[in-house]
Structure 1
């Protein structure tokens, strides 16, 4: 059995993880430990506090007891707001605290883009525009060409967690760009696990969502691949062979 650990801020769309575990349909177990969200606000100052080392390290012991072989900070905005270098420092600190391979959702997006072999992307975010722009800056540092960024102005994760298919599809369509090779939906508070294959069919291209790429990243850390078509192109495509 492969056991993977996730530090998830607060309570919004954590039920995506048991759903993803079911869709993977293999000997993979996903353990979710909740961290203190502090102030529920998609504001840079609040997000920096949410991703502070002491908040992440508080959940490490519980993940160790779960038998996790790797840990991912399951939060996009609470990682990319630190910038490319700061997000690396955050992950290094988490790896040291846990004694395990570690990453974050922001790096999961960067690695997933590389896995799909795409470069030109569109961002459809729940966040206010200024926060969404921070994500675009992070992606550009990873080598992606961000063709468009659309923020939805949602301040709290609690509100995002109430969105269903209609809202998710409308945001994805509005945020797409005709020249984008993939569309990115970067909020782990957004329920997407049940919708990924439908989103890809509607948009006609790969769709990367936060909880989806977070689980894929944890699998990558332990060098494990699974085939799960319901989770989209990321979970079916063969790895890109670098020249």
Structure 2
């Protein structure tokens, strides 16, 4: 049994995690503890408050009781807005409070890009433009090359959580670029797990989404490798990757 603890702000697309648990079809557990979202706004000042050490630390005892072996702050914007160094400090404080390895969705994206060996990325973000720019800067600090991006300009996680398959696919198509090796969709408020196979088939390249990579990052911290059908290139068996997508 491997248990990855997830700290998730508010309520939007957390039902992606039970779906991931089922698709992984193994002894992996993904308990979710909801943190105080404060003001639901994709605005830098609100996001900084959302990711404060006090709000994250409040959820760790419940995850310890669940037997978590690692913990991930399941929020991209509430970590990358701190900048590269600030986001490192955020997860260091979380690890100390939790007494276990810790990371965030933002670092999950950085590590996944390196793992896939695909440094040129396109960003398909639901956020306003200024928040999306913070994510691009964070990625570039990690060594990625951002070749294109699209921001949908949505202010609240609640609205993002209402999006379905067609909106997700349209955002991905509009953000993609022929020079991008991989497309990133950074909002954990966006339902994407059910559409991963469709996204990769449509774009013909790996697609990494926030809830998918959050779980991958937690498993990486727990030193647990996992593969699954339908969860994209990131969770594909190494000998099956070439069969899934024709990487551009």
TM-score range, shorter chain: over 0.9
Indicate the residue corresponding to 1:66 in structure 2.
66
Shift of 1:237: 4.9
8 A contact 2:228–2:237 mirrored in 1: no
CA RMSD of aligned residues (A): 0.9
Which TM-score applies when normalising by structure 1? 0.97
Indicate the residue corresponding to 1:126 in structure 2.
126
Task: Specify the SS of the correspondent of 1:230.
Answer: coil
Indicate the residue corresponding to 1:20 in structure 2.
20
Runs of 4+ deviating beyond 2 Å: none
How far apart, in 2, do the equivalents of 1:3 and 1:44 lie?
31
Indicate the residue corresponding to 1:88 in structure 2.
88
How far apart, in 2, do the equivalents of 1:107 and 1:227 lie?
20
Indicate the residue corresponding to 1:196 in structure 2.
196
How far apart, in 2, do the equivalents of 1:138 and 1:207 lie?
18
How far apart, in 1, do the equivalents of 2:238 and 2:86 lie?
31
Shift of 1:225: 0.7
Shift of 1:78: 0.1
Shift of 1:210: 0.1
Q: Number of aligned pairs? A: 239
Indicate the residue corresponding to 2:149 in structure 1.
149
How far apart, in 2, do the equivalents of 1:4 and 1:226 lie?
13
Task: Specify the SS of the correspondent of 1:134.
Answer: helix
Structure 2: gaps of 5 or more residues:
240-248
- Over residues 198-236 of structure 1, what are the superposed CA-to-partner deviations in whole Å (9 max), with x where a residue is unaligned? 100000000000000000000000111111121100001
